[in-house]
A = this chain, B = another copy of it.
Amino acid sequence: MSERYVIAIDAMGGDRAPNMVIGGLRRVCTEFPNVDFLVFGDESRLTELVDKHPSLKTRCTVQHAPDAVNNEDKVAYALRNRRQSSMALAINAVKEGEAAAIVSAGSTGALMAMAKLAFRTLPGIKRPAIPSVFPTRKQGKTLMLDLGANVECDAEDLVQFAVMGEVYARQVLGVDKPSIGILNVGSEDMKGHNEVREAAQILQNSVLPIHFYGFVEGNDIANGTVDVVVTDGFTGNIALKAIEGTANFLVVSLRRAMTTSLLTKIGALLARPALKKFWRELDPRRYNGAMFLGLNGICVKSHGGTDAVGFANAVRVAMQLIESGVNERIREDLDRIMVQRTDPQQTADA
């Protein structure tokens, strides 16, 4: 029998919470028979929702949270005044060892701040980052980080993201020797602002056992040129949403094009299985759920606007992270990498 895990759920975060949260849990509960859920939020509403599904009822423990984080809350306000929120209590359950991970679709800023305060960062890591996986032309995957945790990043932050991204690609995504690129406006050494140039120089000259490719450009994300794309949270967030917006626009345009005449409708019908597969591969819900990488605890952020299908995927991400023992592996790797970085001699001797 496989080990049993508990996942803490912030049931009040997200545009369609708590319904989409409970709907998401219902979708995954048969998939992961070894997981129980600690569900935080409005007790009466949650109990009513959970009770409707006998299969879910036996796996959920509802815990009342008298408050919830609001999307309009400033981060400092949430930290000070939302200590009894479903988000804060769910994070606390992980801190207290009652759960192995927390999943929330609530405000990114508040979630990051609360999780950082409760879990602290991994040794040697200054700031956590949000990674996400993108499908690529090569039918592989590219990991990009940071997607919005840090609006301003210096060279040292970018170097840490590169190291964490490398470990994540290797340990969680199973990439053999991940190649790392820094997102820039051109591939020449002299391009870009100081931070990216300095970070590239550090990675180029370092004795770290990582494969640094150099600079990559915006189109390299979808091209799958490297396994890990490193960028600051401002650029990363805008690139992520520009990509999502474009994919969405194209799908809508294509649907429109395929219904212009009877002939195209018949064509679309014949091509339906292929088109369905195509839509499915692009479905952003499939990519929902991003870890706060670099924290000493597993915190998965779901898109706020997602539905039950998307939330279920965020729970899947949490399970994958728990089962891969991601943080222990990152800690080991970071230890080794940091030692090598501060003491090149040791590498030479090893």
Contact = CB atoms under 8 A, between A and B. Distances in A.
A253 B278 contact: yes
Contact of A222 (B220, B233, B242): B242
A73 to B, nearest CB: 10
12 contacts: A136-B249, A151-B193, A217-B237, A218-B238, A219-B242, A219-B245, A220-B245, A242-B243, A242-B246, A243-B243, A253-B281, A258-B275
Interface string A254-268: 100110110110111
A148 interface: yes
A334 to B, nearest CB: 27
Interface residues of A, number: 64
Contact of A264 (B244, B250, B263, B274): B274
A237 B267 CA distance: 37
Contacts of A282: 250, 253
A1 interface: no
Interface in A274-291: 274-275, 277-278, 281-282
Interface in A179-233: 183-185, 188, 190-193, 217-223, 231, 233
